[in-house]
Amino acid sequence: MQRSPDRHARAVVPVVDGTKIRIAREVRGWSQAELARRIDIVTATAISQFESEAARPSARTLLAIAQAVAFPVEYFARDTYNSGVAEVSGYFRSLRATPAATRKQARARAALIRHLALTLERHVLLPALGYPRIATGPDTPMSEVEQSAREVRQQWQLGPGPIGEAVRSIERRGVIVARLPADSHGLDAFSVPFPERPVVILSADKEDRARSRFDAAHELGHLVMHDADAWGERWVEAQAHRFAASFLMPAEDIEAELPRRLDWSELARLKIRWAVSLAALVRRSKDLGVIGESTFVQAMKYMSARGWRRREPVNLGPPEAPALLASAVDLLAGQGISLADVAAEAALPIDQVQEFVGASSDQRPSLAL
């Protein structure tokens, strides 16, 4: 005989996890006041107390919260998966351009993706976490940042020249890479350095292979070099940008190929060869001293006047698709474990799991011949 919803809620109340209430609320994009308004039986102050664990909800209130956010009530039970999640911040690019509520919702999604990955890991041996930690500070010279990128390439045995699959290279080292759902326009890529499984989230609205690859490398730079308490600082973003450029375009490999004057035909050829944007190539040329500051400014003005800062010529095709989550789900399906089974085990809404897996894989239909 199955338990009634009330009995489920009563069983969870003694071990309710306040952080999970907050995560579920933030995934829906709601404030504490909005959640209180929707359940209409407690105040926003009470919701705050539940989340901080200064008080516990009653079974009736917990059930109302679960129904409002459309999560199984079992999700709110404390478990080892959620240990320390509340203390881990994320690396977001522009704090001024992105509202705090949007950042909270995105970070909550990343927490659920981590939760899903750890559930999958009960059944599938995921790649071991394997990237070096090379701490930097505000006074670290860019030459050392470039060296950090070289060390990662050497440790990963990527060899000289262009990286064929940047996203896949990161996933092979145990980092979970996913995409935001299609309705998340306006939020840039970000990462959250959860200790067991860091999560890199790529933007939904960058349907540009070159820029998406650069975003992935930028977030890798944060994971390699930065502590979470430094997020949002300008020097942190500048270092991650330089790391990405060095990771994708090592100085020793690309410097001799860069034209000594603005040759857009040659830059277009290099864009195809290195799978990076024209803008990234021009900036790399400046950073390596191949062109001067005035030539760089001239190039940026030229690109802006032609609308290339928004959409460049020379289409490289669709962005690289993350594969780790989808591959793990496919592997389990071959063993008779469905996506619904995974969602039930993780105590996550099935539509949320489908969103995470679907948004994190190549959505083009597969042609069978």
* Residue 286: C-alpha distances to residues 142, 247, 273, 281, 283 (Å): 13, 16, 19, 9, 5
pLDDT tens figures, 106-121: 999 999 999 999 999 9
pLDDT, tens digit (0-9, with 9 covering 90-100), for 241-291: 999 999 999 999 999 999 999 999 999 999 999 999 999 999 999 999 999
Picking from 365, 271, 250, the residue whose alpha carbon sits closest to that of residue 316 is 271
In this model, does residue 165 exceed pLDDT 60? Answer: yes
Q: Does the pLDDT at position 192 exceed 80?
A: yes
Per-residue pLDDT, 84: 61
**Domain definitions of the chain by residue range:** 5-78, 89-252+317-360
pTM beyond cutoff 0.75: yes
**Is residue 196's pLDDT more than 70?**
yes
Q: What is the mean pLDDT of the chain?
A: 90
The CATH number, out of the four listed (1.10.10.10, 1.10.260.40, 3.40.710.10, 3.30.420.300), of the domain defined by the range 5-78? 1.10.260.40
Could you report the per-residue pLDDT of 71-81, keeping only the tens digit for each? 999 999 998 76
At 361 the pLDDT is: 54
pLDDT at residue 366 is higher than 80: no
- Are 355 and 181 within 8 A, CB to CB? yes
pLDDT value at 1 more than 50: no
**Helices 234-248 and 278-287: angle between axes, nearest 10 degrees:** 100
Q: Encode pLDDT of 36-47 as tens digits.
A: 999 999 999 999
- Nearest CA-CA partner of 226 in 107, 136, 110: 136
Residue whose pair of structure tokens reads 């092979």 in the numeric block: 172
Q: What pLDDT was estimated at residue 2?
A: 45
Characterize the bridge pairing of strands 176-179 and 199-202. parallel
Q: What is the three-class DSSP state of 92?
A: coil
**CA 40 – CA 32 distance, rounded (Å):** 12
